[in-house]
Structure 1
Amino acid sequence: MTLPGIKDSVLDIVLNLKSLIIEMHDSEIIWLQLNKKEAGKVTAADIKTPSGVEIKNPDLYITEIDPGFASKNAEFSLSIRVEKGTGYMSVDSLKAREEDPSVILIDANFSPVISVTYDIHSVRSGEVINLDSLDMVVKTTGSLSPDDAVKFAANMLQSYVALFNENAREVEPGFLADPKAILEHESAQRVHDAEREAYTPIEILGLSPRTLNALVNGEILSIEGLTKCTEAKLGSIK
């Protein structure tokens, strides 16, 4: 099915609208309106949005209006119904509740998460070597940030696990995650790694055994430490 003066068919317009990414803060069903008379491309930026609704991909191509159509003072008009949901909703499930036959239904994937990859590798903390580190890469559509997606999932998981907490035995602090301690450890680890990268053993200078032993006994173990050493301290080293 085609529309006079409109480049794309109704099917193509519907398929383009399936790629529309919307962030909305209210749970109610809302209607968005698109009205355009000028010739040229019609994009998601032409859609009028109320407060609390944001289109995350305004450059999305919807269709194109021919110059001849625009010269007739005609208008391309489109009403879009938007609602919140979870998971996937098929057209068949939408038909069961839709009474208006003029509404074109589109199946919807409400999940903002496109993909998640993770990697687990061994790390050490001081003398403790049997630790694991989890690296995650989360890609979203933009309606929800990767950080917020992980936090949302964590809150959901906590709500499910909380079902087992009733009359549970108290867990010793050493077994619980300490976010503050983790951040402090990561900060200290970054400083330690930076210091290791800047550490050049003094042995590579090829000094005589007597001079080398004197510097080591004076706790000057690297070239970096030697360059920071004052003349007075060097004079006191024997």
Structure 2
Amino acid sequence: MTSDPPNTETVRVWHATSSSGPAGPIERHCESWLDESERQRADRFRQPTSRNQHVIGRGMARQLLGANGIPPDAIRFDIETYGKPFVIEPDTARRPFNVAHTDGLVMCGIADRPDSLVGVDIERLDRRTDPGLADRYFSKPEIEFLKTCGTGDARRAAFLRIWTLKESFIKAIGTGLQTPLADFAFEEIESDSPKIRMLDPKLESDRQWQFYCVAPRPGFIGAVAVAPGQAATLALELHSFDELVST
């Protein structure tokens, strides 16, 4: 993995195939990197899909955070107030990361610098959704935007685009749905790099947020939220975790 220029922060987003049935090779690799508590938690999932997503999410995070020669099983995690995991040791593995999953795919984003914030979200484009939920949860500007998107597939895709952006932001700041989705609005939604506007002053900060809409694989839509630390520029890379494991 090449090093970045001093004033550049690179966020690397990895995506892995997740089986909806019996565990496949990706799951088996990832499970070998888990600690005992993670295996026990995995065994509590009744549905293979959920178990596989949990195993891959934690396993790929361990493998990627340990890319600098740290054994995956040597990494220890803790969780923030609202459930976001973070690395507590070793120090060399303390990088911001976030995991998201949907049926068939797991995504993990990792930032370079410990003072950065990162959040990711992923959805299937064919997921059953009710765009009418926007009237209940989204901000007024976003609701008005959706009204311009017609009906059917186009409106559903626009809804998922906004939904993944919103999820990526609240996951990056670590509050989850404790932050109402109507307290901030996305603008330039059709862009690959939408902008955010804080409608609740409590969300204002000095951080310079950047967002990316991504399509890691056909049939999926995702979003990445990054608030870089002291980096002057930001770069985003997408990588296949399947290819990494198979090499």
Which TM-score tier does this pair reach, normalised by the shorter chain?
Answer: under 0.3
Q: TM-score, normalised by structure 1?
A: 0.23
- Whose RCO is larger (CA < 8 A, sep 6+)? 2
Structure with greater Cα Rg: 1
Q: TM-score, normalised by structure 2?
A: 0.22
